[in-house]
Amino acid sequence: MKKTLVIMTMIATLISCNEKNPFYSEFPNEYGIPSFEQIKTEHFLPAFKEGIKLQQAEYEAVANNTEVPTFVNTIEALEYSGEILTRVSSVFFNLYSAETNDSLSAIANEVSPLLSEHGDNLYLNDKIFQRVKTLYNERESLGLNPEQNRILEKYYKNFVRSGADLNEEAKAQLRDINKELSMAQLTFGQNLLNDNNAFQKFVTNEAELAGLPESVKQAAAVAAKEAGKEGQWLFTTSKASFMPVLQYGENRELRKELLLAYANRGNNGDANDNNETIKKITQLRIQRAKLMGFDTPADFILDNTMAKTPAKVVEFLQSVWQPALNQAKAERDELQKMMDAEGKGEKLEAWDWWYYAEKLRQAKYDLDEEALRPYFKMENVRQGAFDLAGKLWGLQFKKLENTPKYHADMEAFEVTDADGSLIGVLLTDYFPRPGKRAGAWMSNYAEQFIKDGTNHRPVIVNVGNFTKPTSDKPSLMNMDEVETLFHEFGHGLHGLLAQSTYPGLSGTNVVRDFVELPSQIMENWCFEPQVMKTYAKHYETGEVMPDELIEKIQKTGTFNQGFVMTELLSAAILDMDYHMLTSADDLDPEAFEKASMEKMGMIPEIIVRYRSTNFNHIFAGGYAAGYYSYTWAEVLDADAYQAFVETGDIYNQEVATAFRTNVLEKGDSEEAMKLYLNFRGKEPNPSALLIKRGFVAN
In this prediction, residues 482-507 reach a mean pLDDT of: 98
Residue in 525, 523, 532 with CA at minimum distance from that of residue 380: 532
pLDDT level of residue 335 (50, 70, 90 thresholds): very high
- For 226, the domain range is 199-263
Model confidence pLDDT, tens digit, residues 269-324? 999 999 999 999 999 999 999 999 999 999 999 999 999 999 999 999 999 999 99
Pairing of strands 422-429, 459-463: parallel
pLDDT level of residue 687 (50, 70, 90 thresholds): confident
Q: Are residues 352 and 423 in the same domain?
A: no
Task: Assess whether pLDDT exceeds 70 at residue 695.
Answer: yes
Residue 298, domain CATH: 1.10.1370.10
Residue in 209, 212, 492 with CA at minimum distance from that of residue 373: 212
Task: Assess whether pLDDT exceeds 60 at residue 267.
Answer: yes
Task: Assess whether pLDDT exceeds 70 at residue 1.
Answer: no
Residue type, 252: R
Please state, rounded to an integer, the average pLDDT across all residues of the chain: 95
Residue in 594, 561, 560 with CA at minimum distance from that of residue 577: 594
Q: Say what the pLDDT of residue 697 is.
A: 75
Among the candidates 586, 610, 627, a domain finishes at 627
- CA 85/CA 103 separation, integer angstroms: 19
More confident residue, 195 or 16: 195
Q: What's the pTM?
A: 0.90
Q: Say what the pLDDT of residue 457 is.
A: 98
Q: Are residues 349 and 439 in the same domain?
A: no
Task: Assess whether pLDDT exceeds 80 at residue 525.
Answer: yes
φ, ψ (nearest 5 deg) of residue 459 = -120, 110
* Catalytic sites, residue numbers: 488
Q: Are residues 233 and 338 in the same domain?
A: no
- CA 113/CA 116 separation, integer angstroms: 5
Task: Assess whether pLDDT exceeds 60 at residue 9.
Answer: no
Task: Assess whether pLDDT exceeds 70 at residue 8.
Answer: no
Query: Under a CB-based contact definition with an 8 Å cutoff, are residues 11 and 54 in contact?
Result: yes
Q: Say what the pLDDT of residue 242 is.
A: 97
CA angle 489, 298, 488 (to 5 degrees): 5
Q: Are residues 659 and 551 in the same domain?
A: yes
Task: Assess whether pLDDT exceeds 70 at residue 11.
Answer: no
pLDDT level of residue 471 (50, 70, 90 thresholds): confident
Tally Cβ neighbours within 10 Å of residue 49.
Answer: 15
Q: Are residues 133 and 61 in the same domain?
A: yes
pLDDT level of residue 696 (50, 70, 90 thresholds): confident
Among the candidates 150, 165, 180, a domain finishes at 165
Number of domains in the chain: 4
Model confidence pLDDT, tens digit, residues 165-221? 999 999 999 999 999 999 999 999 999 999 999 999 999 999 999 999 999 999 999
Q: Are residues 596 and 658 in the same domain?
A: no
Q: 597-624: buried (b, 16+ CB within 10 Å) or exposed (e) per residue?
A: beebebbebbbbbbbbbbbbbbbbbebb
Q: Say what the pLDDT of residue 132 is.
A: 98
- CA 302/CA 308 separation, integer angstroms: 5
Could you tell me if residue 329 is inside a domain?
Answer: yes
Q: Say what the pLDDT of residue 14 is.
A: 47
Q: Are residues 110 and 65 in the same domain?
A: yes
Could you tell me if residue 101 is inside a domain?
Answer: yes
Q: Point out the least confidently predicted range of 10-24, 119-133, 631-645.
A: 10-24
- pLDDT exceeding 90 applies to what percent of the chain? 94
Residue in 456, 458, 442, 445 with CA at minimum distance from that of residue 406: 445
Could you tell me if residue 408 is inside a domain?
Answer: yes
CA dihedral of residues 48, 49, 54, 60 (deg, nearest 10)? 120
In this prediction, residues 389-399 reach a mean pLDDT of: 98
pLDDT level of residue 19 (50, 70, 90 thresholds): low
Task: Assess whether pLDDT exceeds 70 at residue 590.
Answer: yes
Task: Assess whether pLDDT exceeds 80 at residue 16.
Answer: no
The torsion region of residue 533 among left (phi > 0), alpha (psi -120 to 50) and beta comes to alpha
Q: Point out the least confidently predicted range of 15-24, 201-210, 567-576, 603-612.
A: 15-24
Q: Are residues 445 and 538 in the same domain?
A: yes
Q: Say what the pLDDT of residue 309 is.
A: 97
Q: Are residues 55 and 160 in the same domain?
A: yes
Could you tell me if residue 449 is inside a domain?
Answer: yes
Model confidence pLDDT, tens digit, residues 20-41? 899 999 999 999 999 999 999 9
Q: Is 440 exposed, middle or buried (0-12, 13-18, 19+ CB in 10 A)?
A: middle
How far apart, in Å, are the Cα atoms of 278 and each of 437, 588, 618, 645? 19, 9, 10, 44
